[in-house]
Amino acid sequence: MTSPVPYTRAEIKGLGTQLPARGIFCPACGLYIPEFADITPEERTELKQASLFETIKTLRTRTGCRLTWAKIWAQHKDGPHPLVTPDTVPCRFCGVPLHPEAGQCLLCRMDWHDPQHLKQLGPSFTDQILSAAPGATICLPSHTSWILALHFAEMHGRQNELTIEFITRDTD
Ligand SMILES: [Zn+2]
Ligand SMILES: [Zn+2]
């Protein structure tokens, strides 16, 4: 695995409110974990031991990054969060990881709150992902459904054929 190109202070400044677009991808958060050119490997090791607050403070001073970027880094000191954990169960209809008590799936849009009367809540995004022509763009209505869509595309080997997006709202 090649390591991602670190961000320099000047580059970070130029990016304004944009989120990092390079780094290791966290499939659970749907975010890239940025690397910083101004942080030495020694500092990195030290930061791993520091509190969340200290880490964020140090990163902001040393790199000039925004709070959002420092938070993303600080929340991923041990690397990306796994999407499939012992606390998730696969959707019985499409297989994406869900909360064990979920009564519906945001991706295949099945609803099983009443197990006797299964409902389809709307067009299934899983069908779209499976049937879309290579090069197609699929839009998801929320961050959560987008993360599930990325995961589903990967499960079915379509992640490089399709562009999967969600409608963004500015958070900064
Ligand atoms: Zn994460
Ligand atoms: Zn599902």
Phi, psi (degrees; rounded to nearest 5) at 115: -60, -20
Q: Give the β-pairing of 137-140 and 163-166.
A: parallel
**CA of 119 relative to ligand 2 center, distance in Å:** 12
Report how far apart, in Å, the C-alpha atoms of 122 and of each of 101, 111, 152, 158 are: 21, 10, 18, 22
Q: How many angstroms separate the CA atoms of 35 and 72, rounded?
A: 11
Let me know: does 90 contact 101? Beta carbons within 8 Å. Answer: no
Partners of 39 in the beta sheet? none
**CA of 131 relative to ligand 1 center, distance in Å:** 29
Q: What is the pLDDT of residues 49-64, one digit of tens each?
A: 999 999 999 999 999 9
Q: Which ligand is nearest to the CA of 92?
A: 2
Q: Which ligand is nearest to the CA of 126?
A: 2
- At 13 the pLDDT is 95
- At 170 the pLDDT is 52
Q: What is the pLDDT of residues 11-30, one digit of tens each?
A: 999 999 999 999 999 989 98
- At 4 the pLDDT is 82
Partners of 123 in the beta sheet? none
- At 93 the pLDDT is 97
Phi, psi (degrees; rounded to nearest 5) at 78: -100, 15
Confidence of residue 3 (pLDDT cuts 50, 70, 90): confident
**CA of 88 relative to ligand 2 center, distance in Å:** 13
**CA of 115 relative to ligand 1 center, distance in Å:** 32
Q: What is the pLDDT of residues 81-96, one digit of tens each?
A: 999 999 999 999 999 9
